[in-house]
Chains A and B, each alone.
Chain A
Amino acid sequence: MDAANYLYLSALLFTIGAVGVVVRRNAIVVFMCVELMLNAANLAFVTFSRINGDLNGQVVAFFTMVVAACEVVVGLAIIVTIYRSRRSASVDDASLLKR
């Protein structure tokens, strides 16, 4: 089977994730979409690793996972903090830069 298929899948998932970041309002869902994009990238890395026949791509995907985990921890903490003060998890409510 052609490994490029995984890459097409990865591109598709990444695009879906990007649309989700733009379209959804709930901060948690937005966050999940970001995770989806990261995962799509990981899939591409793993596939590249296979195509090129070395493990560097997998190592990078591993690092991506770690960084994504960090991001989730901090990001969710921020969401909780915002929720605690504003009683809302909508990203549109946090538009204080404008006003």
Chain B
Amino acid sequence: MTTSNSLVYLIALPLLGATILLLAGRRADKWGHILGTLMSASSFAVGLYQLSLMLGRSTEERPVGQKLFEWISVGSFKVDAGLLLDQLSICFVLLITGVGTLIHIYSISYMSHDKDRRRFFAYLNLFIAAMLLLVLGDSYLNLYVGWEGVGLASYLLIGFWNQKPAYATASKKAFVMNRVGDMGLSLAIMIAFATVGTVSFAGIKEQADQTSTAALTAMGIMLLVAAAGKSAQFPLQAWLGDAMAGPTPVSALIHAATMVTAGVYLITRSNFIFDAAPTAQLLVVIVGAITLLFGALIGTAKDDIKKALAASTMSQIGYMILCAGLGPVGYAFAIMHLLTHGFFKAGMFLGAGSVMHGMNDEVNMRKYGALRKFMPITFITFGLGYLAILGVPPFAGFYSKDMIIETAFNAGGIKGIILGLVTLLGAGITAFYMTRVMILTFTGKARWDEEAHPHESPLLMWIPMAILAIGSVSSGYLLSRGDALVNWLAPLFEHEEHHEELLAPIVVSAMALVMVAIGVAIAFYKYSRQEVAAVAPESVSVLTKIARQDLMQDRFNEAVIMRPGQQLTKVLVKTDKAVIDGAVRGVGRLAMNSGSALRGVQSGFVRSYAALIFVGATLLIGAIWVVVQ
């Protein structure tokens, strides 16, 4: 493999930025945001440079590695802190640093009134560094460090306004639920170490065919747990909605474009494990399908614009996970959807932030309306993202989502039909709730509070939005033109004979468009023809009520995990107090009591000691007497 000495700068630059900003403290308040943005931008520049180098090499020589230092060396087990930049990571590197830089720029303006802006940029840089380490690590252990790093950054950023207890709680919730997934990843690493003996990607890939299917399935399931935790997939999805407590740029960067897609990256990166473990792969597909519908249903009922987008994110990542679970035919499309989604969802989140910025941080869509005239640029960029997520040709989503639906249909047999229908249904629901967001926010009558004075956002905010909108429009076409991305990624995955096509691509596209049209039409009928209440109506169907409560995900977690956990903890505490503390204290008490009992003997009087000696001598004579008997 080719080696390169400059990979480390990708991570080192933002890490340096974070370190400087955190250590410099208030002294860096004036220039901290500029430094943070520069660090992110320079990291992007390094990424571009690496891309250009990679393009100049032949296919076999494209992956480059860099060994930083020998990290762990225990007996035969050796792990180097090493970086690996291949066709897959470069996509992520560019997405992370590119979108990241745009969001840095956006945040300069968005956070300008916040006195802790420097700290915000420090955390953003920390996140960029950790995320890059995640996608650049050449072993699961290195990936794990980045994995934990992004979890930390996510926690810090969700709870950025931690003066509000609800936000602090949301950050804790995200952290704890992520920890469940992290446990899965660490277990997967341990299984890999125990069965394969190495934790590097290359090492496991080499020995995958000699490893038992059971071990690979176990690793695959554990990796799926990890992916579910980080990517807010069923059943660890509950944290994402609450994570919207963080500042909107954070939601755009971490909880839409990059960190939540780490699960997709993990599954794609572990293709050699999943390809050899069909059971785990099937589970991946099921999880993806459930989450896809789950998120879409939640999205239909949310009045909070950010939470609606978060539900949409969950649903879209469900698409990616589903597709990644379909094996070699799906990996590339999953990544493609990931990239296009990164553009349009980040763009829409920034649009939502722009709307909130103009509406005194109001998030309830029922209090928006008619913002089209007041925020034309936001409307246009948001609208382009909207068209992209709907999958209207020729916008980005059309290429990526259609590919997923098509791949799902072609999965073969009854499984393919079910998956195809699920993805189609998802597309329809997506069209419905996204149209609802558009209508509630930008059209109809104004339902603002009196003190709201909507206005267009400043230059620094709308430029990133515009760039992302361009991405939303063009990225799909660019990536799929001549199967560009598929061919680019192909060397990484096992080749598979192409399945017999169940439906012709054109038929699938038509069906998807029909579903989208139906969804849009229902939304128009419900929200454009009728007056929208400024307060959410109470008399709604049970389904809506359940959907408003995130399909009972929190109640479910509470009833199934939290309550029994609390009971278990109580029992354990009692056991601890009664048995363990009891034993420990009992020993102490025994010593104390026997001590105070024996203390009486220590009267200090010589004569009582003499009496004891006398008694002892008597006993000794008695013993002799008995022995001699």
Tell me the A residues contacting B by CB distance below 8 Å: 18-19, 21-23, 25, 30, 91-92, 94-99
B614 touches A (CB below 8 Å): yes
Question: What are 23 A-B contacts with C-beta separation under 8 Å?
Answer: A19-B614, A21-B607, A21-B610, A22-B610, A22-B611, A22-B614, A23-B607, A30-B607, A91-B606, A91-B607, A92-B606, A92-B607, A94-B606, A95-B603, A95-B604, A95-B605, A95-B606, A96-B604, A97-B602, A97-B604, A98-B603, A98-B605, A99-B604
The residue of chain B having its C-beta at the shortest distance from the C-beta of A27 within the complex is: B606
Cβ of A75 to closest chain B Cβ, rounded Å: 12
Q: Mark B320-359, 1 if CB is under 8 A from A, else 0.
A: 0000000000000000000000000000000000000000
Measured in the bound complex, the distance between the Cα atoms of B602 and A94 in whole Å is: 14
Measured in the bound complex, the distance between the Cα atoms of B310 and A41 in whole Å is: 101
Measured in the bound complex, the distance between the Cα atoms of B607 and A23 in whole Å is: 7
Measured in the bound complex, the distance between the Cα atoms of B601 and A97 in whole Å is: 12
B617 partner residues in chain A, CB cutoff 8 A: 18
Q: Mark B606-619, 1 if CB is under 8 A from A, else 0.
A: 11001100100100
The residue of chain B having its C-beta at the shortest distance from the C-beta of A97 within the complex is: B604
Give the residues from 581 to 629 in chain B that come closer than 8 angstroms, CB to CB, to chain A: 602-607, 610-611, 614, 617
Cβ of A65 to closest chain B Cβ, rounded Å: 22
Q: Mark B156-178, 1 if CB is under 8 A from A, else 0.
A: 00000000000000000000000
Cβ of A29 to closest chain B Cβ, rounded Å: 12
Cβ of B269 to closest chain A Cβ, rounded Å: 76
Majority secondary structure of chain A interface residues (helix, strand, loop or mixed): loop
B606 partner residues in chain A, CB cutoff 8 A: 91-92, 94-95
The residue of chain B having its C-beta at the shortest distance from the C-beta of A24 within the complex is: B607
The 9 closest A-B pairs by CB, nearest first: A98-B604, A95-B604, A97-B604, A22-B611, A91-B606, A22-B610, A21-B610, A95-B605, A18-B614
Q: Decide if B604 touches A22 in the complex (CB within 8 Å).
A: no
The residue of chain A having its C-beta at the shortest distance from the C-beta of B617 within the complex is: A18
**Extra contacts besides A22-B610, A95-B605, A95-B606 (13): CB < 8 Å:** A18-B614, A21-B607, A22-B611, A23-B607, A25-B607, A30-B607, A92-B607, A94-B606, A95-B603, A96-B604, A97-B604, A98-B602, A98-B604
A97 partner residues in chain B, CB cutoff 8 A: 602, 604
The residue of chain B having its C-beta at the shortest distance from the C-beta of A98 within the complex is: B604
A98 partner residues in chain B, CB cutoff 8 A: 602-605
A96 partner residues in chain B, CB cutoff 8 A: 604
A92 partner residues in chain B, CB cutoff 8 A: 605-607
Measured in the bound complex, the distance between the Cα atoms of B605 and A94 in whole Å is: 7
Measured in the bound complex, the distance between the Cα atoms of B607 and A97 in whole Å is: 13
Q: Decide if A22 touches B607 in the complex (CB within 8 Å).
A: yes
A25 partner residues in chain B, CB cutoff 8 A: 607
A99 partner residues in chain B, CB cutoff 8 A: 604
Cβ of A89 to closest chain B Cβ, rounded Å: 13
Measured in the bound complex, the distance between the Cα atoms of B605 and A92 in whole Å is: 6
Cβ of B176 to closest chain A Cβ, rounded Å: 59
A22 partner residues in chain B, CB cutoff 8 A: 607, 610-611, 614
Cβ of B619 to closest chain A Cβ, rounded Å: 14
Measured in the bound complex, the distance between the Cα atoms of B614 and A98 in whole Å is: 21
The residue of chain B having its C-beta at the shortest distance from the C-beta of A99 within the complex is: B604
Measured in the bound complex, the distance between the Cα atoms of B614 and A25 in whole Å is: 16
Q: Mark B90-117, 1 if CB is under 8 A from A, else 0.
A: 0000000000000000000000000000
A30 partner residues in chain B, CB cutoff 8 A: 607
Interface-central residue, B603, B604, B606, by most chain A CB under 10 Å = B606
The residue of chain B having its C-beta at the shortest distance from the C-beta of A95 within the complex is: B604
Measured in the bound complex, the distance between the Cα atoms of B607 and A30 in whole Å is: 9
A18 partner residues in chain B, CB cutoff 8 A: 614, 617
The residue of chain B having its C-beta at the shortest distance from the C-beta of A91 within the complex is: B606
The residue of chain A having its C-beta at the shortest distance from the C-beta of B602 within the complex is: A98
Measured in the bound complex, the distance between the Cα atoms of B609 and A97 in whole Å is: 12
The residue of chain A having its C-beta at the shortest distance from the C-beta of B603 within the complex is: A98
Measured in the bound complex, the distance between the Cα atoms of B607 and A25 in whole Å is: 8
A19 partner residues in chain B, CB cutoff 8 A: 614
Cβ of A98 to closest chain B Cβ, rounded Å: 3
